[in-house]
Structures are given as C-alpha cells and as structure tokens.
C-alpha cells in the first residue's frame, strides 16, 4: 500500500489591494498617461502562514473579478495550480480575444486574474520548497536578465501630485524623467539620461504619437547618438500598411526589430514580407488561440510575451516552447509596474531557454516601490535574479498602504489615456489607424 500523501497547506486568505503609482505624462498611440497608473497587489496567505504575492494592472473591473475569485480559491492547495485554474475558468467561462480592445495595452480580465493567482501560488510553492521561482520554471539559464531603455515622447511633468509640474530640485534621471521630450533632440537627451542611470544596452522608442516622419527622424538621431546600440520602434498599430512599408524600408539599416507597425496578423504579414527587418508584436498574437493564425500568415518574427496577459509564468514558459516549435523568437512586453512584477519578469527572463533581444520594462518611469529594501537595482541594464525562495521579494505593507491611499484619492477607475490627452489637446481623438 502506498503511504497516503500528506496534504499540504491550503489558501486561507486572499487580500486584494488596489494602488495608484506616480506616472509621468507619457504619450502613446491612445493618448497620454494619467498622473497615476493603477496596479493591484494580491496576497495569498496559507493556513500555516505562508504568503505569496503578485502584481497586475489594476482596474475596478479586474478588482471586482478578483473579489469574485476569492471564494473559488479559498481552501485550495496552492501547489495544485490546474485545480485552481479550472475553478476560475469554470466560474468566468471563456474570455474572447476581442476583449483585448484596440488600445496599446491589453484590456482582458481573466488572463490577468490567472496571472495574479498563479504568480502568488508560485511564490508560496517556492517558499514551501525553498526554491526561487526560476527553478520552478525549469532552472536558471542566466544570472542577469537584460532590459531595454523604454523611451517615450512626453510632455513636461512629474505625474502624481505634481501632474504637469516638476520638482526643480531633482537632478540626474529623476530630473530627466520630468523633462519634455517632443522631438528627436528631446528623445536623444532622454536616452542619454536613462542609459547613464541604468546602463541599458538597447533602446526602444514608443511611437504612434506623431506623424511617422518625425518618429523615423528620432530613430535616425538615436542611431547617430548611439552608433552600436540595438534600436526598435513601436507605433502600436496606428500606421497603414503603405506607411509601414515606406518607413520600414527607410528604417531597415537602423532597426533590430519593428514592433506592431500595423494591426492584425494579415497586415503584419504583408508588411513583414516587404521588409528585411524582423517584426515583433504584443498586439496581433496575444494568446494561444492566436498561434494558428500566426503560423498561417507568419505575422511576426518575435512574440512579446507578458506573463500578466499570457496567463502567468508557467503559461509564458509554455509559450516559449511553442515559439521554438513554430520558429518565433520570444521577448517581453511591459506596462507601468513596480518591483513585484519586475521580480516575476526577471524570474521568467532567467528561465527562458533563449531570447535575442533585451526585454521591455517601464520600471525607470516609476519612482514608487512596495517591496522591502526599495527599488530593484540595474547592473549595466540588467537585473540580477533574486535568489531567495519564491519571488525573492517581500511586500512592504507601509509603502503598500500609502499607495492604496493614492488609489482612494486619485479618483481613477481604469486606464483612460484619451481623457488625459484632452487636457492638452481638447479635441484629440483616438484612431485605430492614424497615418
């Protein structure tokens, strides 16, 4: 007879804490970042007192769905992830990919909930087994995970309570983070300041904000200022196929890859066939259900995974395996985030079998932090994999409470870059395809 398996700890408590983090006025194809970005922090606590944490994009709708998730997972074994995911899936049903929306960021709810619960469970499992999450994902392939400088056109302003005002006493990157960057010279100055502070070895420009000629000129200016640094631009799908081919050809000598120049797998494939530059996406191939279309059309060369909307870290590892099968490179997408998300991204980045381009992160644009010990440091543009069990970072409850108060007072319920943009350009409209 087999010895009965001793049952492990069960999830006894789930805490959901919405927070609002200071975010400067960054431009993108859908408008302008509000003074605060919303995140939600999840704590799962077992009946023997082990806590697992995670961080996801926060909206009031996602938070309500997380509240609905609580009774589904209380009493469950955090190491039985298939059981937990089946309970959540059973309650919410299938989520249509159409729920992603047309914005640069992904508006689905269920994928984010999967990710929130899965990362917190992995943090618990790591603590129980005394292993860092990277080991649970298959083992560490690298100690340092490289990230790219994420450059944004922006209006002057610090965000948060200062909104479009600045702190004139700031110096170095904290000063540059507040400065306007509305032309090639502004973008080059921003790049110099970000590289000086963090040591990034790759540069990404968020495009889709201005007439493409101006954005192409910014890439050429970056190439002059950084002759040997890989460059990419991401217009978030607002270029026409003709524009993407015209400027894509001009950019061929400069770009490591071109990210989401157009919308949809078919149009991406048309642009891809016309260019020598690889194409990357976080907009046209965004779920396992999109992979057959990706294969049929060959819409991109690089899939930008994001554990927040691919359903978690183990799902992202599964994506990495699929990418190897279908001949895609994998890299990483990001949104405004703090250190819990960064730690999870670093564990994933360290576990991926291989990737050829530095991962995205918005982290330099944030100044807040909710993990003990403060903000995670960069070493020549890379982040060292935390070596403690689980995520290897712990929640600072005092800092969390402060940012929760921001959430309660800021009045924001979801990300709406259009509303913020109209503070600067009153009649501004979002257009799916602009140029």
- Residue 282 or 406 having the CB closest to ligand GKR: 282
CB of 360 to ligand GKR, least distance (A): 6
Closer of 294 and 336 to ligand GKR (Cβ)? 336
Cα 313 from chain centroid? Answer: 13
Write b or e for each residue in 265-289: b if 16 or more Cβ atoms lie within 10 A of its Cβ, otherwise e. bebbbbbbeebebbbbbbbbbbbee
CB 133 within 8 A of CB 123: yes
β-pairing verdict for 27-28 and 51-57 = unpaired
Query: Which residue stretch of 186-194, 282-290, 341-349, 416-424 sits at the interface with Mg ion (rule: CB under 5 A)?
Result: 282-290
Only segment of 52-60, 157-165, 280-288, 398-406 that touches Mg ion (CB under 5 A): 280-288
Q: How far is the CB of 304 from Mg ion (least distance, A)?
A: 6
What DSSP string describes 364-416? GG-----BTTSSPP-BTTEEEPP-SSBTS--B-HHHHHHHHHHHHHH---S--
Written as six digits, the tokens of 18 are 């919405």
Whole-number Cα distances in Å, 17 to 38, 41, 92? 11, 5, 21
Nearer Cβ to ligand GKR, position 263 or 333? Answer: 333
The site for ligand GKR (CB under 6 A) is made up of 26, 28, 104-105, 206, 234, 236, 282, 333-336
State which of residues 59, 282, 314, 334 lies at the interface with Mg ion (CB under 5 A): 282
| Window contacting Mg ion (CB under 5 A); options: 164-172, 276-284, 384-392, 405-413 | 276-284
Of 192-200, 279-287, 307-315, 389-397, which part binds Mg ion (CB under 5 A)? 279-287
Selection from ligand GKR, Mg ion, none that 28 binds (CB < 5 to 8 A by kind) is: ligand GKR
Smallest separation, CB 153 to Mg ion (Å): 15
CB of residue 204 vs Mg ion: minimum separation in angstroms? Answer: 9
For CA atoms 391, 201, 309, 322, give the dihedral sign: negative
Q: Which run of H or of E encompasses 13? A: strand 11-22
Q: What is the DSSP letter of 99?
A: G
CA distance 120 to 17: 14
SS3 of residue 108 by DSSP: coil
- When the beta carbons of 282 and 305 are compared against ligand GKR, the nearer one is 282
Q: Which of 333, 337, 347, 362 is catalytic?
A: 333
Question: What's the CA gap between 368 and 22, in Å, rounded?
Answer: 7
In whole angstroms, give the CA distance from residue 357 to residue 286.
18
Q: Which of 33, 112, 204, 206 is catalytic?
A: 206
Q: Does residue 306 interact with Mg ion by CB under 5 A?
A: no
β-strand pairing of 51-57 with 144-146: unpaired
Catalytic residue flag (residue 206) = yes
Binder of residue 243, out of Mg ion, ligand GKR, none (CB less than 5 to 8 A by kind) = none
Residue nearer to ligand GKR on the CB measure, 114 or 363: 363
Closer to ligand GKR by Cβ: residue 103 or 243: 103
Evaluate whether 379 touches 1 at the Cβ level (below 8 Å): no
- 261 Rama class: left (phi>0) / alpha (psi -120 to 50) / beta: alpha
Closer residue to ligand GKR, CB minimum distance, 297 or 415: 415
Cβ neighbours, 10 Å, residue 334: 21
The minimum distance between CB 336 and ligand GKR, in angstroms, equals: 6
In the complex, minimum distance from the CB of residue 282 to ligand GKR, in angstroms, rounded to a whole number: 5
**Residue 123 interface partner, choices ligand GKR, Mg ion, none, CB cut-off 5-8 Å depending on type:** none
Is residue 372 part of the annotated active site? The answer reads: no
Site string for Mg ion, 225-244 (x = CB under 5 A): ---------x----------
Three-state secondary structure call for residue 245: helix
Contacts to Mg ion by CB under 5 A: 234, 259, 282
Tell me the catalytic residues: 206, 333
């Amino acid at each position: 007879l087999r010895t009965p398996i001793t049952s492990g700890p069960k999830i006894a408590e789930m805490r959901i804490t919405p927070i609002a983090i200071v975010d400067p006025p960054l431009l993108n194809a859908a408008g302008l970042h509000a003074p605060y970005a919303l995140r939600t922090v999840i704590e799962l606590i077992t009946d023997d007192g082990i806590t697992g944490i995670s961080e996801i994009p926060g909206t009031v709708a996602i938070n309500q769905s997380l509240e609905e998730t609580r009774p589904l997972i209380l009493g469950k074994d955090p190491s039985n992830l298939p059981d937990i995911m089946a309970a959540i899936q059973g309650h919410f049903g299938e989520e249509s990919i159409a729920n992603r929306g047309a914005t640069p960021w992904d508006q689905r709810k269920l994928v984010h909930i999967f990710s929130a619960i899965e990362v917190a469970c992995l943090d618990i499992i790591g603590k129980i087994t005394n292993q860092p999450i990277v080991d649970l994902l298959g083992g560490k392939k690298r100690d340092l995970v490289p990230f790219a400088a994420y450059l944004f056109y922006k209006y002057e302003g610090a965000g948060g309570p200062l909104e479009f005002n600045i702190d004139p006493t700031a110096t170095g990157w904290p000063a540059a983070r507040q400065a306007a960057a509305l032309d090639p010279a502004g973008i080059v100055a921003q790049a110099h300041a970000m590289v000086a502070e963090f040591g990034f070895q790759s540069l990404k420009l968020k495009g889709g904000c201005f007439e493409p000629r101006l954005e192409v000129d910014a890439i050429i200016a970056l190439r002059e200022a950084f002759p040997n640094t890989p460059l990419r631009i991401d217009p978030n799908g607002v270029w026409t196929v003709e524009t993407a081919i015209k400027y894509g050809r001009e950019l061929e000598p400069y770009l490591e890859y071109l990210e989401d120049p157009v919308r949809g797998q078919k149009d991406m494939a048309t642009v891809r066939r016309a260019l020598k530059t690889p194409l990357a996406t976080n907009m046209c191939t965004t779920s396992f259900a999109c992979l057959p279309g990706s294969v049929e059309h060959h819409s991109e060369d690089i899939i930008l995974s994001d554990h927040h909307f691919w359903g978690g870290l183990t799902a992202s590892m599964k994506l990495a395996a699929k990418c190897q099968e279908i001949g895609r490179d994998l890299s990483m997408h990001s949104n405004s985030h703090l250190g819990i998300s960064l730690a999870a991204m670093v564990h994933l980045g360290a576990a991926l079998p291989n990737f050829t381009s530095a991962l995205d992160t918005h982290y330099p644009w944030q100044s807040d932090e909710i993990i003990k010990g403060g903000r995670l440091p960069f070493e020549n543009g890379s982040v060292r994999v935390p070596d403690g069990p689980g995520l290897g970072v712990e929640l600072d409850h005092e800092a969390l409470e402060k940012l929760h108060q921001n959430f309660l007072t800021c009045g924001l319920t979801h990300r709406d870059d259009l509303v913020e943009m109209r503070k600067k350009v009153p009649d501004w409209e979002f257009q799916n395809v602009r140029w």
